[in-house]
Structure 1
Amino acid sequence: MLFTAASCTNATVISKDKLEVNTRKGLVYYKKEPFTGVAVSYYAGSVLAESISYENGKKHGVYKKWFSSGDLSYEAYYKNGKKEGVAKSWWVNGNLRSKSIFKKGIVNGLQKQWYNTGAKFKEMNIVNGKEDGIQKSWRKNGKVYNNYEAKDGRIFGLKRANLCFQLENEVVQVK
């Protein structure tokens, strides 16, 4: 399937281990030139493990990872070396694990995470990489664990509270 898509765009497909990374420049090279194409790696037995698109030595396009079973484990999109758009990850059982939104490599928007059962784990509102707005997390049994608001670097509400306490006049009262 990967090679069909690659042949439509005439992309060069090579093994990821043939690439050289220049950490100082932040670029990936193949034969001493910034790489443009698709780099792949495989599990033993020729099951695709990873596929990364590059343009001029930077991640550009789709990046996918698979479990050894062949099921998708991660998918993200890159533009000029930075994540752009929706990034998703899955549990080995096929349930969605996380969904994040990126703009120019920075997390932005509603981020969601789930337990492997499919139950909600977290919902976080992020603006320019920082918590902003209502943040929630749940226990595996579905009960709210955290429910607070973040604004200008300040937290309003009880973070990591077990919800057995309530505030009255800024003093914690036990029910």
Structure 2
Amino acid sequence: MRFLTLLFPLFLICVIGCNSSTNSAKKDAVVKKVEINSEIVVHKDSLVLNGNEGNWYYKNTLFNGFAVKYHANDTLKEKTGFYNGKKEGVYKVWFKSGVLKMASHYQQNVLVGSYKAWWQNGTLAFDANYKMGKLEGVERQWYSDGTMSKERHLLKGSENGLQRAWLQNGKIYVNYEAKNGRTFGMKRANLCYQLKNEKVEEKKDI
């Protein structure tokens, strides 16, 4: 009994120690949101990229802030966030008209999360997601009138699953499954079909 009495406190110490280690590991795994100083804005041409490091410098110092570029008509063309010399946060590009053209996200120079693009009329043209710099999940594309043009499923940047493409009239002309580097189904190249002037035509042997 005396042995058990002595053993119990030791057991509690071990449990508390393990829980503390687990909590610390969880805290370390949480990605900290980087706050970029919005008051620091420079022209992107004033930044210098060190290709060996992958870092951007402003006056020989790792850049922190936003870099911008302009169209010939002085409207904003693009805006990029930087933290400790690396691209960070939202990256946006605009048409001359001021309509948003593209929006993506960076984490230490690597594309992550949502990536979207639009037509000049404001219609969504492209919608995808990046994970550690590679396309992941469902990628969708649209014609300028909003009609779906493509839908791809990707895993680590490679096609994985159902892949489809449509003509602007809604007729499907690509429909196949990709798995382990192989394709199964109606793939245009395999069936000797091509798209010309929005029409599917069979290639003729020369």
Where on the TM-score scale, by shorter chain, does this alignment land: which range?
0.7 to 0.9
Unaligned runs of 5+ in 1: 1-7, 163-175
Q: Which residue, out of 92, 114, 117, partners 1:86?
A: 114
State the 1:32 CA deviation. 0.9
More helix by share: 2
- Residues 113-164 of structure 1: per-residue CA shift (max 9 Å, x gap): 01111100100000111100101000111100100000010001121145xx
**Aligned partners of 1:116, 1:82: CA distance in 2, in Å?**
29
Partner SS for 2:170: coil
**Does 2:175 align with 1:147?**
yes
**Aligned partners of 2:145, 2:97: CA distance in 1, in Å?**
19
1:17-166 equivalences in 2 (<5 Å): 17-160=45-188, 161=191
Q: Which runs of 4+ in 1 moved over 6 A?
A: none
* Paired amino acid for 2:134: I
State the 1:39 CA deviation. 0.1
- Residues 90-132 of structure 1: per-residue CA shift (max 9 Å, x gap): 0111111101100111110000001111100100000111100
State the 1:45 CA deviation. 3.2
Scaled by the length of structure 2, what TM-score is found? Answer: 0.72
**Aligned partners of 1:153, 1:10: CA distance in 2, in Å?**
45
**Aligned partners of 2:72, 2:113: CA distance in 1, in Å?**
32
Correspondence for 1:165: none
**Aligned partners of 1:19, 1:121: CA distance in 2, in Å?**
38
**Aligned partners of 1:10, 1:87: CA distance in 2, in Å?**
22
**Aligned partners of 1:11, 1:138: CA distance in 2, in Å?**
45
How many corresponding residue pairs? 156
State the 1:77 CA deviation. 0.6
Scaled by the length of structure 1, what TM-score is found? Answer: 0.85
Question: Considering only aligned residues, what root-mean-square deviation do their CA atoms show, in Å?
Answer: 1.6
Q: Answer with 1 or 2: which has the greater Rg.
A: 2
**Aligned partners of 1:126, 1:62: CA distance in 2, in Å?**
23
Unaligned runs of 5+ in 2: 1-35, 194-206
| Aligned 8 A contact 2:73 2:96 in 1 | no
Partner SS for 1:17: helix
Choose 78-87 or 20-29, whichever is displaced more: 20-29
Percentage identity across aligned positions?
43
**Aligned partners of 1:64, 1:10: CA distance in 2, in Å?**
15
Correspondence for 1:12: 40
**Aligned partners of 2:95, 2:38: CA distance in 1, in Å?**
27
State the 1:59 CA deviation. 0.7
**Aligned partners of 2:98, 2:91: CA distance in 1, in Å?**
15
**Aligned partners of 1:126, 1:44: CA distance in 2, in Å?**
38
